[in-house]
Amino acid sequence: MLKFLFVVALFALATYLVVRVIQRRGILPPTPGGTKRPGPRPQPRIVAPDDDEDFLRDLDRKRRLPEDPEDPDSA
């Protein structure tokens, strides 16, 4: 049984090395996600508070319906 596993491991190693040599020579196209690295990721666009729709909507809501009274003793 151990001989069989050894033969399978040798066959897998030989197959791997043959495929790598073929890829390096350019005979076959590289596999997706292979040796090429993806390009740099673009930076996410930073939205300033005065351009953020949710922020402005929240400010408008707070201005119309204040949650905290300005003078807590007047209640």
Instruction: Report the number of distinct structural domains present in the chain.
Output: 1
Q: Structural domain of residue 1, as residue ranges?
A: 1-30
Residue 68 lies in a domain: no
Q: What is the predicted pLDDT for the residue at 40?
A: 78
Contact by Cβ (8 Å): 18, 12:
no
- Those residues with Cβ within 8 angstroms of residue 55's Cβ, 6 or more apart along the chain or in another chain: 49
pLDDT tens-digit map of 7-54: 999 999 999 999 888 888 876 555 665 555 667 788 877 767 677 788
Residue 24 lies in a domain: yes
Q: What is the predicted pLDDT for the residue at 25?
A: 80
Q: What is the predicted pLDDT for the residue at 51?
A: 73
Q: What is the pTM of this model?
A: 0.36
* pLDDT band of 60, cuts 50, 70, 90: confident
